[in-house]
Structure 1
Amino acid sequence: MLFHLLFSLRDVFPAFRVFRYITFRTFSATLTALIISFALGPWLIDRLRQYKVGQNIREEGPKTHFQKAGTPTMGGLLILIAVFVSTVLWADFRNEHIWIVTLSTAGFGIIGFIDDYLKLVKKRSLGLRGTYKLTGQILISFLIGLYIYLNDDAAFMTILSIPFFKELYPNLQIFYIPFVIFVITATSNAVNLTDGLDGLAIGPSIVAAFSFAGLAYVSGNVVLADYLNIAYIRGAGELTIFCGSILGAGLGFLWFNTFPAQVFMGDIGSLALGGALGTIAILTKHEILLGVICGLFVIEALSVIIQVVSFKLTGKRVFKMAPIHHHFELKGWEEPKIIVRFWIISILLALMSLATLKIR
């Protein structure tokens, strides 16, 4: 909105030509989302507390979590408002990539909202049935995969970019659709599983958004893409602005979500963030790097899978409790120590993934 308005006045005000630069608009989007989060956060937390939208604590969970009962949740709504407003103001909505990631994030956010609403307002302990939740996630991901597969535009491709290899780009063709479903759905649920401690999920999400901002920018720049031997995706650079919005909104939310948290993001936030990151990875052709950048989320999800499979096959548990952050809680680690150390792991994994751009 602001981009189209101000850039259209560039002949009257030559200084407005700066709005054509993705870097300037990304900084603007990041700052806008951050300001919105800071400004709207206290009001939203008060409203959630007023309507008694408080966190329910599982009886089988760590005993230290019982003191968190009643803490306002569904704070992910703050993230989504900041991201969407900032994107609308600064992104070019003539770009298909922006439409796809915005609609995807909104779709996963709606699924999360319904789940939170049923659990917290309607007092249904299980919330939205797992089959319904998964069906909704698969449907959104399927539509994205189908759109890419049927699109003849060179901006959308069914190839995979393999780290460390210069010219290895396998084309999955129609099998790219189930691959998209797996990537986006798995990422969404992995972030959701990680959201169990104050700031644990939003920290790595911020790191991932920063990483994908860089990846989107170089993927959408023909000169940089050629220099780094990565696939050039026409129009992908505009996704940098969306990543900047997530970065700003995430930092603003972390202000209220850091230990001890004033608000939790809920499924509306975790499912939406995971869906957004998965979609961005698909659109920028960095699906494989997603597994490294979001490696912490992968570890959390794998810990649950290992725990379930081990218990069903042997009757024994590998971890004291899954996801793995609860394992370390029961080993006596203080919550802030777990959170910060997991953040450090997330940062290291992101740095490793970005380093692969030069090693090709």
Structure 2
Amino acid sequence: MLFWLAELSSHGPLNLFRYITFRAGGATATALFFVFFFGPKIIAALRLKQGKGQPIRTDGPQSHLLTKKGTPTMGGLMILSGLIVATLLWANLTNPYIWIVLLVMIGFGLIGFYDDYLKVTRQTHNGFSGRIRLLLEALIAVIACAAMMWLGGPYTTGLALPAINGFVVDLGLFFLVFGPFVIVASGNAVNLTDGLDGLAIVPVMIAGATFGIIAYLAGNAIFSTYLGINFVPGAGELAVVVGAMIGAGLGFLWFNAPPAQIFMGDTGSLALGGLLGTIAVAVKHEIVLAIVGGLFVLEALSVIVQVISFKLTGKRVFKMAPIHHHFEQLGWSEPQVVVRFWIIAFALALIGLSTLKLR
């Protein structure tokens, strides 16, 4: 909305609204203060509605039963509301990429919200059917990828390989399989990571900041040519969405820091993961997402390996999955697991960014 003020004048202070960097900063501050202001009210309302809060796994660390019992979930509502308000206020709403990523984020958020609702009302870890949930996520992701194909462009259906300048594999219609897979996998990988206070939100912000930089560079013809990455017209505007996500995430972390006053829940983790996946697909850096989001990949793989091993051999590879619980069972304290995983996420983000210059 504020972007339109720049149309009123090409000179003076209003001209600042033309710059993506300025609006990304504005979106960050807006989302942060929105969550700070409304956060306590949302927590109080959710605590009143949910009563017993999110059910805690009885097979996990016993300390969780004592410290986390009764904590309300669906904290993703705080993040998404702040993100949406800031995006609508600061982004260029004529940019189709803005609406595509918001479609995925809100769609995944609604799926996660319903799953959280069932878990809270039934006081069980089982939400609605996993197959139906995946089908709904896939449908939303396919619509988003089809919209990207409709927008057109030289690399819309292409797969770029990191560290190799100019090499793009045209996936053709297979893009409608590969793109949705990346988005759905990203959403569920972040969802699996969300198991300890502050564990998911900081790596999400780190990955988001990384892709905000990539989106800004990919959307700039000069920078993308210099770095040898694919130029995606209009993708730079996604940096504003990322700024809003970081601001909302920082605000949420204030309330989610140990001991958490609220949990993100599937409402937030699915939505934010889907958002990251959609941005990666839009800027043609899907493989880089696997590097930057390597922590999420590790968490998801630990669950897959655990399930396959138990079904085939009856034995577990890890003491408990996802893998952050494995380290808790080894004796690491919750803060140790969380901070060390943050460090890993930061290191992987640096590796992901380095692929830009390696070209």
Confirm or deny: 8 A CA contact 2:142 2:179 kept in the other structure: yes
Moved more, 140-149 or 263-272: 140-149
Confirm or deny: 8 A CA contact 1:155 1:235 kept in the other structure: no
Matched residues in 1 for 2:76 and 2:251: separation? 11
Unaligned 5+ segments in structure 2 are none
Q: After TM superposition, give the deviation of residue 333 of structure 1 in Å.
A: 0.4
Residue in 1 aligned with 2:40? 42
Residue in 1 aligned with 2:140? 140
Confirm or deny: 8 A CA contact 2:54 2:123 kept in the other structure: no
Residue in 2 aligned with 1:231? 230
Matched residues in 2 for 1:320 and 1:15: separation? 58
* 2:238 alignment partner AA: L
Q: Secondary structure at the match of 1:51?
A: helix
Matched residues in 1 for 2:344 and 2:218: separation? 25
Q: Does 1:301 align with 2:300?
A: yes
Unaligned 5+ segments in structure 1 are none
User: What are the within-5 Å matches in structure 2 for residues 116-195 of structure 1?
Assistant: 116-121=116-121, 123=123, 125-149=125-149, 151=150, 153-154=152-153, 157-195=156-194
Task: Render the CA deviation track for 1:7-65: whole Å, top value 9, x for unaligned.
Answer: 23326x72101100000000000111111111111111111112235111122222121
* 1:30 alignment partner AA: T
Matched residues in 1 for 2:13 and 2:134: separation? 48
Confirm or deny: 8 A CA contact 2:55 2:123 kept in the other structure: no
Residue in 2 aligned with 1:33? 31
Matched residues in 2 for 1:146 and 1:210: separation? 26
Residue in 2 aligned with 1:291? 290
TM-score of the aligned structures, taking structure 2 as reference length: 0.97
Matched residues in 1 for 2:155 and 2:252: separation? 33
Residue in 1 aligned with 2:97? 97
User: What are the within-5 Å matches in structure 2 for residues 207-226 of structure 1?
Assistant: 207-226=206-225
Confirm or deny: 8 A CA contact 1:310 1:317 kept in the other structure: yes
Q: Secondary structure at the match of 1:170?
A: strand
Matched residues in 2 for 1:223 and 1:319: separation? 48
Q: After TM superposition, give the deviation of residue 180 of structure 1 in Å.
A: 1.0
Confirm or deny: 8 A CA contact 1:156 1:283 kept in the other structure: no
Moved more, 93-102 or 125-134: 125-134
Matched residues in 1 for 2:277 and 2:187: separation? 7
Confirm or deny: 8 A CA contact 2:113 2:266 kept in the other structure: yes
Residue in 1 aligned with 2:71? 71
Residue in 2 aligned with 1:24? 22
Confirm or deny: 8 A CA contact 1:155 1:234 kept in the other structure: no
Q: Secondary structure at the match of 2:356?
A: coil
* 1:189 alignment partner AA: N
Q: After TM superposition, give the deviation of residue 184 of structure 1 in Å.
A: 0.5
Confirm or deny: 8 A CA contact 1:105 1:275 kept in the other structure: yes
Q: After TM superposition, give the deviation of residue 124 of structure 1 in Å.
A: 5.8
Confirm or deny: 8 A CA contact 2:100 2:147 kept in the other structure: no
Confirm or deny: 8 A CA contact 2:155 2:230 kept in the other structure: no
Matched residues in 2 for 1:18 and 1:281: separation? 27
